[in-house]
Structure 1
Amino acid sequence: MESVINLAGSIAGGGVFGLLGTALGRLASYFERRQTLQFDRLRWSHELKMRELENAAVLAGAEADRERLAAAGAWHGLHASIAADATIPSSYAWVDAIRALTRPLLTLLLWAISAMIWLSAGPDGQAAIIEATSFAAIAATLWWFGDRGSKPK
Structure 2
Amino acid sequence: MADLINLGLNAAAGGAFGIIGTVLGRIAGFFERGQSFKQEQARWAHELDLHKLQMQMRVQETELELALAAQEGSWRGLQASIDAEARLGRASLWVINTLRLVRPVLTLMLWLITAWIFAQTQNGAIVEAAVFAATAATLWWFGDRAPKPALKV
Q: TM-score range by the shorter chain?
A: 0.7 to 0.9
* 1:138 match: 139
2:69 is matched with: 69
- Measure how far apart 1:101 and its partner are: 4.2
Structure 2 unpaired stretches of 5+: 147-153
Q: Identity of paired residues, percent?
A: 36
Answer yes or no: is the 8 Å Cα contact 1:107–1:141 preserved in 2. no
- Opposite residue 137 of structure 2, the aligned amino acid is A
Q: How far 1:74 moved relative to its partner?
A: 1.5
Give distance in 1, aligned partners of 2:100 and 2:128.
34
- Provide closer, same or farther for how the CA distance between residues 91 and 78 of structure 1 changes in structure 2, counting only shifts above 3 A: closer
What is the Cα deviation at residue 86 of structure 1? Answer: 1.5
The count of residues paired between Structure 1 and Structure 2 equals: 145
Tell me how large the CA RMSD over aligned residues is.
2.4
TM-score (norm 2): 0.77
The aligned amino acid for 2:127 is Q
Is 1:119 paired with 2:111?
no
Q: Give the 3 Å change call, closer, same or farther, for CA 9–18 of structure 1 in structure 2.
A: same
The structure, 1 or 2, with the larger RCO (C-alpha pairs under 8 Å, 6+ apart) is 1
- Name the residue aligned to 1:150: none
> Which residue does the alignment assign to 2:82?
82
Q: Cα–Cα, structure 1 residues 141 and 49, in superposed 2: closer, same or farther, change >3 Å? A: closer
Deviates more, 1:57-66 or 1:103-112: 103-112
Show the counterpart of 1:11.
11
CA distance in 1, matches of 2:9, 2:75: 97
Unaligned runs of 5+ in 1: 148-153
> CA shift at 1:105, angstroms?
3.6
More deviation, 5-14/20-29? 5-14
The one-letter code of the counterpart of 2:115 is A
Give the CA deviation at 1:39.
Answer: 1.8
- Which SS does the other structure have where 1:25 is aligned? helix
